[in-house]
Structure 1
């Protein structure tokens, strides 16, 4: 393991200590080995550059850190020009930014996704998050995790194997903890397969934008169910199609330019999958056509985005001719 890899391990000391408690202990017993394996065996060529960008961010103590605002605003009444420039340049070194938005003092990170819109659609339907232990599968850079904490969650743990998302998460966490002290929120650079089977420990598990990337969606639903304590709540968001019970779209190759899309069920088929996976009372709380205002290229994510993935002559179809992205939110209990 490189020196840079070793330098990341202390980031996870707090969550490791938490997982040592009671029903979470099966994970704590293997977590350090998982992290060492990931950081050693899956080195990323850009990691040194990202760490340099992260460490270049100036040590500013925010006057406030609002975990309930749409942009998770970090504020400071007096910043000099050098600090402003250093914040923006450090954050630009961590581009592309996909999920957000975030406000780092005078720098507004206008991310590809307006993730706050999704949160506004989901949050009113959730079981109260106050005091709950939450797992966020495929959490990206952690935007929704911060909103969960802002709504009173007791502990939030996200998993996502992207090293860049981890650096972006740490950029915000460093400033948030300067304002609030130690916060019960962590992003583990791991995959769903790394969560111990049948853990049955979390009060709420989120899986948003993951199911359609799985070759075996029923297995994924069962894995999600098994992260939950009895009576715990699953929050599932995924792509669906209009159609009857039993209908499923499997793209020939790409879907909206994405290669790793496997199954897009009708809503009724998805609910059946949930029931067959052992989830109780699955129900739809939101159905939304993704708009060109919700997902688009920005100055902070300069690659192609949704407008480029759709048929320019018919925005109701993808570039491949499939139905344009339609997203559903389903709640269910274990």
Structure 2
């Protein structure tokens, strides 16, 4: 049974366990694509960090002095194997990893709307390499479960947390579509940068609503477009060169999606245009990034001629069920 189930009051433990075992059998296969992670991870599995600092913009795991020169070179090669690094920054045993996204900026935008995470059961849907999970850990939650279907990100977080040893952080090879297996389970759900990759945003929002406990809190961040009308862009093929983009909404459109998916107490607490200060190429992400996605002659447009992307943040809740008292019968 996956250890995170100890924190979840679900009647579907057997179903989740079977799914977990199927995913683990898949990820443990000696496939060429997996061996490039599995073999060096196995050789470095004994390493533990003497320092863990999750309070600042950089997630710091270990010091350079924790490793000898040979170990440092092995760790560096392994970290390079996990490229491209999309979320960060990290400092791993003294190696500074400048990821594509300056993810601390997004976290700082979330902070004013952040509910109390202490002793809460949390899901991070689409957790990537776990940067935000480590930032959540600084707030003393009971448990954080990362939903992440991609092997590269799964191996990256698993390795980082093996070094860090944060015992209440978990990851599983799950996607947003698996949330119905966790009905009324999570006090807080983070869904950051996922919704516009779903062909049916309403279905995705209903799945998030289903997994949230009554009285719980959803923190949702999505790519969007500016404008007052409740509309969404539906690109023909790509949006900002990304083929897996479906619906790109305005804030008012996303508000309506949330409302019609059952959420209450809906608040858009931040929206801002994207920029190359936040998303850019680095030595740890060598491919095209934001500056390549935007029309160089008109930064208000994408390379395809669509409105340039914004990021939109919402906080929403799930109403507690009403209880109805049975009136006492009067004695005759």
Of 1, 13, 16, the match for 1:31: 16
Match of residue 48 from structure 1 = 35
Matches within 5 A, 1:30-109: 30-40=15-25, 45-57=32-44, 59-76=46-63, 78=65, 79-109=67-97
- Equivalents in 1 of 2:70, 2:304: separation in Å? 47
Q: CA RMSD in A?
A: 1.9
Q: Deviations over 1:69-114 (max 9, x none)?
A: 2211123362432232222112112222111111112101111111
The change in CA–CA distance for 1:104 and 1:197 in structure 2 (over 3 A counts) is: closer
Structure with higher Rg: it is 2
Q: Is the 8 A contact 2:225 2:250 kept in 1?
A: yes
Q: What CA deviation, in whole Å up to 9, does each residue of 1:185-208 have, x standing for no partner? A: 111111122233570121001111
Name the CA distance, whole Å, in 2 between partners of 1:46 and 1:197.
29
- Which residue matches 1:163? 151
Name which of 110, 130, 137 aligns with 2:125: 137
- Aligned length in residues: 315
Q: Measure, in 2, the Cα distance between the counterparts of 1:301 and 1:15.
A: 32
Are 2:219 and 1:235 aligned? yes
More divergent stretch after superposition (134-143 vs 69-78): 69-78
Structure 2 counterpart SS, 1:231: strand
Matched, 1:113 2:101: yes
Q: Which runs of 5+ in 1 are unaligned?
A: 1-11
Q: Distance in 2 between matches of 1:138 and 1:249?
A: 22
Partner of 1:278: 262
The answer as to whether partners of 1:63 and 1:77 remain within 8 angstroms in 2 is: no
Deviations 1:208-257 (A, max 9, x none): 11111111111111111111111100001001212233322111110011
- After TM superposition, the structure 1 stretch with the greater mean CA deviation from structure 2, 316-325 or 75-84, is 75-84
The aligned runs of 1:156-305 (5 Å cut-off) are 156-177=144-165, 183-197=167-181, 199-305=183-289
SS of the equivalent of 2:115 reads: coil
Is the CA contact (8 Å cut-off) linking 2:294 and 2:303 kept in structure 1? yes
TM-score by length of 2: 0.89
Q: 1:94 to 1:52 in 2, by over 3 A?
A: farther
Following the alignment from structure 1 to structure 2, what is the Cα–Cα distance between the partners of residues 39 and 172? 18
Partner of 1:125: 113
Mapped pair 1:150 → 2:138: yes
How many Å apart are 1:40 and its aligned residue?
4.5
Structure 2: how far apart are the matches of 1:156 and 1:195?
A: 14
C-alpha distance in 1 between matches for 2:125 and 2:45 = 31
Structure 2 residue ranges without an equivalent (≥5)? 319-332
CA distance in 1, matches of 2:68, 2:32: 34
Alignment partners' CA distance in 2, 1:51 and 1:187: 16
Q: Distance in 2 between matches of 1:59 and 1:107?
A: 18
